[in-house]
Amino acid sequence: MSKLGGQHAVVTGGGRGIGRAIAEALIADGARVTIMGRNMQTLQTAADEMGAEAVVVDVTQQDSIAEAFSKAALMQAIDILVNNAGAAESAPFHRMDTDMWHRMVAVNLTGTYLCSQSVIKGMLDRGYGRIVNIASTAGLTGYPYVTAYSAAKHGVIGLTRSLALELAKKGITVNAVCPGYTDTDMAADTVANIVEKTGRTEDEAIASLVKHNPQGRMIQPEEVAEAVLWLCQKSSGSINGQSIAVAGGEIL
């Protein structure tokens, strides 16, 4: 039997980018996968293409999370949760407004907390679970102009570490994966933003991002997915509370 055969995984933000690569990797390893996100059209198309289930959620809305996770758990109890949904906005700190602060914390940190809480009771009842949080290198170190995003992702690392300890004897592991700049819509938006705000060319903007990575390149979503897949295996049961950078050596 394939390694994840018989298991049900939920991937938030699984309709595109890193989340989609994670969902595809989990399916290839035998898991039943439910992808969640706000845009039903993107989700359904992706779900049909990869053979997943699609459920709408807005991870910034508690009611929406409750509804989505009950729907998913009714299909099959959830063994694996990948908290991947996220967003990145940037601004110089002195110009950032409180709404942006709240948006970054809501989608990246509170969403991770609420989605994890939605699956935890079932995992405790069954004595098994894997939770993987997609944080960022910005959760492990600082970068200019992304204070709110970086603070939220540091929060995700703190949540990961503390929850991992709390659940250590319950058969549940909680880990984080921290990608560097990864080739998705999010990175494309960052490049477009740099071009608009600085007048640099697209190539110069990309170069300014990849210079952080000692390998001098963007990470591919499939590389992040490989790390997540490993953490989701039953055989990775002793890997707990870790924050694994997938960033070509950017964080040592």
Footprint of ligand NDP on this chain (CB under 6 A)? 12-13, 15-19, 37-39, 42, 57-60, 84-88, 107, 134, 136, 179, 181-182, 184-187
Contact of 35 with 52, CB cutoff 8 Å: yes
- Structure token pair of residue 18: 């890193």
Contact of 172 with 134, CB cutoff 8 Å: no
Quick one: 87 or 105, whose CB is closer to ligand NDP?
A: 87
Helical pair 185-198 and 202-210, crossing angle rounded to 10 deg: 120
Q: Is 149 a catalytic residue?
A: yes
* Shortest Cβ 61–ligand NDP spacing (Å): 8
Distance CA 245, CA 241 (A): 13
Distance CA 129, CA 84 (A): 17
In degrees, rounded to 5, the angle at the alpha carbon of residue 25 between the alpha carbons of residues 23 and 28 is 110
Helical pair 17-28 and 221-232, crossing angle rounded to 10 deg: 50
Quick one: 37 or 155, whose CB is closer to ligand NDP?
A: 37
* Shortest Cβ 230–ligand NDP spacing (Å): 17
Distance CA 31, CA 41 (A): 23
Quick one: 64 or 170, whose CB is closer to ligand NDP?
A: 64
* Shortest Cβ 126–ligand NDP spacing (Å): 25
Q: How many CA atoms lie within 13 A of 19 on its CB side?
A: 30
In degrees, rounded to 5, the angle at the alpha carbon of residue 95 between the alpha carbons of residues 90 and 100 is 50
* Shortest Cβ 224–ligand NDP spacing (Å): 7
Kindly name the residue from 113, 145, 149, 181 that is annotated as catalytic. 149
Quick one: 31 or 245, whose CB is closer to ligand NDP?
A: 245
Quick one: 21 or 164, whose CB is closer to ligand NDP?
A: 21
* Shortest Cβ 6–ligand NDP spacing (Å): 26
What is the Cα gyration radius of the chain?
A: 17
The residues annotated with a catalytic role in the active site are 149
